[in-house]
Structure 1
């Protein structure tokens, strides 16, 4: 189960909606080994695409060095789907290389009333997708 504060949930959703019609992407870091998402880190979609996201390699290297210096790890890796449901694509699965991370997908297909809003979380390990419950709590 992924447990997020209301603030983190709102920030992920706001980023996804702000970047629409392009996919948004980012990370929520937390203390290493804690499974506690704490620090919201919106990233730039280097692909600037409505159907694909890609972290800029220099930004990603900087982020991992910073997390290492702070004894953090990526607890949540998130991105949006702008025209489809919030479910990992084959490409998403192929890029999922953090077995301990929660992979959050937000569908912004509802941006113009085109479909229901979705916020879903998955574990993706060795190509196997497992959906998990998302619990939103008040700030700690």
Structure 2
């Protein structure tokens, strides 16, 4: 189960909405071994695509050095789907290389971001574990604070 604060949940959804119609992507880091997402790190989708996301290799190297320096790890790796449901694609599965991470997907496919009320609950927000190509959906518990 992924337990995440309402504030982090809302930041992920806001990033997905802001980058629509392109896919948004990023990481939520937490203390090593804690499985507790704490620090929101939005990333640039280097592909700038509505159907694919890619972390910039330089940004990714910088991120992992920073995580190392702070004794953190990527607890959540998130991205959005702009035209499909919030479920990992074959490409998402093939690129999943953090077996301990929660892979969060937000779908902005069925929403009109220009007229939406801004209610984050109307955007499907799902979490998955992806290990050796096997996708397992997990429950998401949103809390006010840890």
- TM-score, normalised via structure 1 length: 0.96
Quick check: 1:23–1:52 contact (8 Å CA) kept in 2?
yes
After superposition, residues 118-129 of structure 1 pair within 5 angstroms as 118-129=124-135
Give the deviation of 1:111 after TM superposition.
2.5
Gaps in structure 1 of 5+ consecutive residues? none
Structure 1 consecutive aligned stretches of length 4 or more whose deviation exceeds 4 Å: none
Quick check: 1:26–1:43 contact (8 Å CA) kept in 2?
yes
CA distance in 1, matches of 2:100, 2:109: 28
Q: Matched residue of 1:91: which SS?
A: helix
Give the deviation of 1:112 after TM superposition.
1.8
- Quick check: 1:63 aligned with 2:63? yes
Quick check: 1:122–1:131 contact (8 Å CA) kept in 2?
yes
Give the deviation of 1:117 after TM superposition.
2.9
- TM-score, normalised via structure 2 length: 0.92
Quick check: 1:17–1:111 contact (8 Å CA) kept in 2?
no
CA-based RMSD of the aligned residues comes to 1.0
Gaps in structure 2 of 5+ consecutive residues? 114-121
Q: Matched residue of 1:65: which SS?
A: helix
> Alignment length, in residue pairs?
138
CA distance in 2, matches of 1:84, 1:110: 8
CA distance in 2, matches of 1:71, 1:16: 27
